[in-house]
Amino acid sequence: MIDTIFISHAHKDEEYAENLVNLIKVFKLDAEIICSSYAGHNVPADENIYDFLKGKLKGNVWVIYLLSENYYKSAACLNEMGATWIQNKQYSTFLTPNFDFIELKGAIDPSKNAYRLDNKNKLNDFKGSIIEQFSTSVNDNIWESVRDEVIKNVNAKAKLELQENSKAKIMVESVSKHEEEGKINVALRLINNYPYKINFTFFKLILKDEKGTSFVIEQEPTNLHAFHEESKIVILPLGLEGSQFSASRMKESEVQGLKFIQSLK
């Protein structure tokens, strides 16, 4: 029987880790949950963290790797991964929302199914795994309430993270008059530093001229993409739709609400 659940995660991902712990706590398991960023489940103040973990890993431990770009940038996390892998501990992997399966590396078996913190079906699969591992049960109403709250929290965190650390951007290069009256040409630079092709699915364009007149439009493009390490310019002809915005006097530009997905082709 598993006596310890160890959440291996990067310090910068503590909000994700705390939500994962809250999900596990729904089951009221006898197993001890160790999560260094969660009060009550962290390493005791008077303990050496490495000695403490070394002692715990001697038992029947289920290691859960909470993987992200932050994780792979952390020497401490990679040491944890190596130590638990060498001891052949049972493990599962969770992917944070802005981390893709294609980015898995290290001791993790890429053929092994991974869970996602932002996916209802994957969390339900995790629920089934816990029930099987511990021969336990859970009230479905309580589970669904906590699960949905976790997804809400995780998505909010992921949105902020994406805005702060996104490897994909759309920038306004220039704005000019279109040959057709009532239209403008907007030259956008698409930048993709992810290790795969992405499709841009939504963005909000805000332009302002010297007189303070604004032009705001939301776009849901169907064929706007960029390959890995690509930086390219595309020109979009856009209708002014009654706006008095002057392209020749454009002063400020901004792209907000950028959304994109990994392309399967």
Catalytic residues: 80
CA 31, 37, 43, 49 dihedral sign is positive
Using CA atoms, how far apart are residues 260 and 199, in angstroms rounded to an integer? 5
Q: What is the residue whose two structure tokens read 């996390």?
A: 77
Separation in Å, CA 38 to CA 13, 54, 87, 123, 169:
11, 19, 25, 20, 33
Can you tell me the distance from the alpha carbon of 93 to that of 157, in angstroms, rounded to the nearest whole number?
19
Identity of the residue numbered 231: S
Residue type, position 249, single letter: R
Tokens of 226: 């960029």
Residues 6+ apart with CB under 8 A from 41: 21, 33, 34, 35
What whole-number distance in Å separates Cα of residue 258 and Cα of residue 255? Answer: 7
CB 237 within 8 A of CB 182: no
Using CA atoms, how far apart are residues 101 and 208, in angstroms rounded to an integer? 40
Burial of 83 (0-12, 13-18, 19+ CB in 10 A): middle
Cβ proximity of 131 and 137 under 8 Å: yes
What residues contact residue 128 under an 8 Å CB cut-off, 6+ apart? none
